Every structure is written in C-alpha cells, then in structure tokens.
Amino acid sequence: MALITCRGVSLSYDGNPVIMDLNFKVNTGDSLCIVGENGSGKSTLVKVLASLKNIDSGELTFGDGLKQREIGYLPQKTDAQKDFPASVREVVLSGCLNARGILPFYSKADRAKARENIAALGLTPLVRRSFRELSGGQQQRVLLARALCSAKKLLLLDEPFAGLDPIASADLYHIIKTLNESGITIIMVSHDVKSAVFCASHILHLHTHQLYFGDTAGYIKSEAGKRFLGGAINA
C-alpha cells in the first residue's frame, strides 16, 4: 500500500527553486535512498516529508493511515547536538514528545518505549552517560533511538552516516536494515551511495529534477546510476 505519493511536486529553498516536477511513490515496507549532488534538494525534500516545510506546487499525499506523530525524523547532525547537555536516557525519552500532544508529562508507556529503543540499539550500558561525552557513532545511535520513539510506520534519516568512521557506519547500516526488515519504512538521504544501494529497495536520484526513481537493481543499470556510482558496482 502507498504510504507516500508525490505527483508533480516542486520545491524551493530560501525562495530559490531546487526541485521541479517530482514524481515518486513509497510503499509500506520500502527502503528508499535519496541521492544526488550537493544542493540538489535532498534535505529539503526530507523536511517536506517531516512536515517541516511546504511544497510550492503539485500534490503530496500520505496513505495507509499515516499520521505525522507516527514519523520519526533524524536530521543532519549539528555542532549544537554534539554538545547537548543531557543524559542518554533523557535524549531518547524526548523523542516521545512528538506523540504527547498537549500532555505535559511522560507516561509509563513512553518510558517503556524509551527503554525498549535504548536496549534495541545497544545503549543500555550508556544510559546514564552524558550525551556530549559519547563518540560520534554512539551519538548517532542515541539520536536514532530518539527518532524511533516517534516512528511507528516511517523513519526519515538525513545523512545519518556523516562524520562516522567505517566501523560505526557499518554498524548503523546493519541497525537500519534490521529496522526496515521489522516493518518500518525507511527514507534516507546519503552521500555514501555505494553502500546505501545494498540496503535500499529503491533509489530516488535528484538533480534539480528527477533523474531516476525505481528499484535499486534498475538504478545500478541506469545511466544515472552508472555515472554516480563510477562503475564501482557491477550489474
């Protein structure tokens, strides 16, 4: 079933057009990787899907009963995030705020969900540690656990591997793939296309307009895929 349908959508950033006539569909259970050069509108599109930005024109619809509070969002890491003055438990638990509405306190269910996601990402030994004291890979796992506290159906990831070493990246790829296999739909922006193609079911390649949308096998064989991958992957 279609979770997201995009028809003829155009987007801008600071008043400047970045994407024209975008058309794609994400079904429940898909793993979509959005690729393209810097400035091609990848992050802008993810912010639209997270309801943080509006489209300029076209039609964007959400299906399968998807609600905004059922979407987990992991934005690009910033310096401010790296120095966040809170414990691992507090950071992860704050991910439940998206579904709290006007209720001021965390519920017993919220705390149980946070503990479950902390355990799932192997963070239990670090639960009392300050977020700012963690390594880059550990911080990304904490932020992913936080996003999972909101994600019932859809997880949006914007450059989750930026700044990570190869070992931390491989660990995070495995976690994301496992989440997708558990039933969570994944939409991810990544510059690390050569690795991303192995865990994505579909690819959306942007360059002011849509160069490719379809399954990963087709992308590897496409002209856009061959140019972007540099022939590193044999079809």
In a domain? residue 4 = no
**Looking at the DSSP assignment, which residues form a beta bridge with residue 130?**
87
In a domain? residue 2 = no
Number of domains forming the structure of the chain: 2
Same domain, 178 and 141: no
Same domain, 85 and 195: no
Same domain, 166 and 101: no
Domain end among 96, 126, 152? 152
- Between CA 65 and CA 211 the distance in angstroms is 30
In a domain? residue 9 = no
Domain end among 152, 176, 193? 152
Query: Smallest Cα–Cα separation from 189: which of 155, 217, 151?
Result: 155
In the prediction, which pLDDT does 185 show? Answer: 95
In a domain? residue 6 = no
In a domain? residue 226 = yes
Same domain, 148 and 161: no
Same domain, 45 and 160: yes
What is the span of the domain harbouring residue 36? 28-56+154-235
Instruction: Give the total residue count for the chain.
Output: 235
In a domain? residue 62 = no
- Between CA 197 and CA 33 the distance in angstroms is 8
Domain end among 125, 152, 179? 152
Same domain, 99 and 144: yes
Note the pTM of the prediction, 2 decimals: 0.88
In a domain? residue 164 = yes
In the prediction, which pLDDT does 81 show? Answer: 64
* Helix or strand (DSSP H, E) at 83: none
The strand ranges marked E within 41-184 are 57-62, 71-74, 154-158
In the prediction, which pLDDT does 235 show? Answer: 43
Same domain, 139 and 83: yes
Q: Can you give the CATH number for the domain in which 180 is found?
A: 3.40.50.300
Tens place of pLDDT for every residue, the chain, 235 residues?
899 999 999 998 888 888 899 999 999 999 999 998 888 889 999 999 999 999 999 999 999 888 887 899 999 876 656 667 899 999 999 988 876 665 667 889 999 999 999 998 889 999 999 999 998 889 988 999 999 998 888 999 998 887 788 888 888 888 888 999 999 999 999 877 777 777 899 999 998 789 999 999 999 999 988 888 875 554 4
Same domain, 107 and 223: no
